[in-house]
Each structure stands twice: as C-alpha cells, then as structure tokens.
Amino acid sequence: MGTRDELERLQRLLVTTGVRPLVDRVVDPAGVPDALRDLADGRVRGKVVVTGWSDRG
C-alpha cells in the first residue's frame, strides 16, 4: 500500500499529470460474480468498479 507520504506524493503526481485509472466496467453487487469470473479468465483490462454498496445496512 505504501506510506502516507508515498500516497500523498502519488496523488500529487496523478493530479499534476492528469493520469487516470483505466476503468473496464462499473457493476452493481449483482454483477460481481460475472466480473470475478472475467478477472480470473483474463478478460478484464483495467479496473472493475463496484457501486451500490451502502454502510447503512
């Protein structure tokens, strides 16, 4: 993960250069099993973002 200082330096670098992570897809919790299968099979290029989680229970 890195130290706090390293993460802050990385954040500044990303802001300065405009580099953004490559997002392959955005899924809700129901789409997680398919996304995990695709990850395991090497069919994902970039990040899979899971939305719709709530900490409110």
Q: Is residue 27 part of a domain?
A: yes
Q: Is residue 13 part of a domain?
A: no
Q: Is residue 6 part of a domain?
A: no
- Span 2-57, pLDDT tens digits: 899 999 999 999 999 999 989 999 999 999 999 999 999 999 999 999 999 776 65
Q: What's the number of domains the chain is made of?
A: 1
Euclidean distance between CA atoms 44 and 34, whole angstroms? 11
Q: Which segments within the chain are labelled E, that is strand?
A: 23-27, 47-50
Tell me if the pTM is above 0.85.
no
Residue 10 CB partners (closer than 8 Å, separation 6+): 2
Q: Is residue 8 part of a domain?
A: no
Q: Is residue 56 part of a domain?
A: yes
For 16, 19, 21, the CA distances from 6, given in Å and listed in that order, are 15, 17, 18
Q: Is residue 34 part of a domain?
A: yes
Q: Structural domain of residue 39, as residue ranges?
A: 21-57
Q: Is residue 52 part of a domain?
A: yes
**DSSP H or E segment with residue 12:** helix 4-17
Q: Is residue 1 part of a domain?
A: no
